[in-house]
Amino acid sequence: MSIPSNPRAVVTGGAGGLGRAFCLELARRGGRMVVADIDAAGAAETVALVERAGGRAFATTCDVAKLDQVERLAALADEQLGGCDVLINNAGVAVGGAVGAVPIADWEWIMGINLWGVIYGCHVFVPRFKQQGRGHVINVASAAGLLSAGEMGPYNVTKAGVVALSETLASELRTHGVGVTVLCPTFFRTNISKSSRTTNNDGARAMVEKLMDRAKIQADGVARVALETADRGELYAVPHADGHWMWRLKRLVPERYYRTIVPKLMGAMRKRTGTTGDQP
């Protein structure tokens, strides 16, 4: 169930950030790929970087919230690559704010991309992987899907859904030679905060951006960890130490985690970054 050499891949959200990092890591493995994104210019730039790194890539526009466009990705992979070995469901957005304050339109927007986009990808590609008896799905979730901090309800819900879907698939696909990995990073530099929708004050956004800048593992390292985890046939990829330890604490003392540990950690992060205001 490990990723083969010279893999054929489909990467959503490939125009920049983590998606581009995945593409470049695959290029270093001699990969060929379809780079999908709603940002056509960014996807084309990723293709140029991939080819410079020794890979081969094809750009296409795709809104993962629309099933017919995800179905076209599979057809394009057949046409340009002769099939697919690795699906990376990476496209994602962020919404912040308290439950009841976040507009329903923002809930619908994030659900369409972060959750339905991953569901559509798995719905389209998993039967193909089962039929060919090989393949690997990498679903990009977040430590938010494991930890569920306050003021992040829409984001937490979508990422927890991706974790649950990945765990379900791992049970279903083990006897079919198909692997599943769910990636759960914490903070690293990405464009997601710039396109996010939030009802928080600006302090929350500023804190997130500072934590992103200070992360020891950035997008290239996150992508590398995810692919190496997939190579080992493992389900959970948690690349950042803070996410790993907070997840462990939650599992050990779940009531205490929400009552005392999370408030203290949020206060410490605000102090560390010199910000104030609502939780991010």
> With contact defined as beta carbons under 8 Å apart, do 113 and 215 qualify?
no
Which among 265, 209, 12 has a CA at the least distance from the CA of 257? Answer: 265
**Do residues 45 and 19 make contact, with C-beta atoms less than 8 angstroms apart?**
no
| Contact call for residues 92 and 140 (beta carbons, < 8 A) | yes
Select which of 120, 155, 257, 258 is catalytic: 155
* Distance (Å, whole) CA 43 – CA 58: 9
How many CA atoms lie within 13 Å of 198's alpha carbon, on the beta-carbon side? 20
Look at residues 109, 55, 108 and name the one whose alpha carbon lies nearest to residue 81. 55
Where do the H-state alpha helices sit in the chain?
Answer: 17-28, 40-52, 67-81, 104-110, 117-132, 144-147, 153-173, 202-214, 219-231, 241-252, 254-256, 262-273
- Based on the residue annotation, tell me whether 236 is a catalytic residue of this protein: no
Residue 232 phi, psi dihedral angles, 5° rounding = -85, -5
Active-site residue list: 155
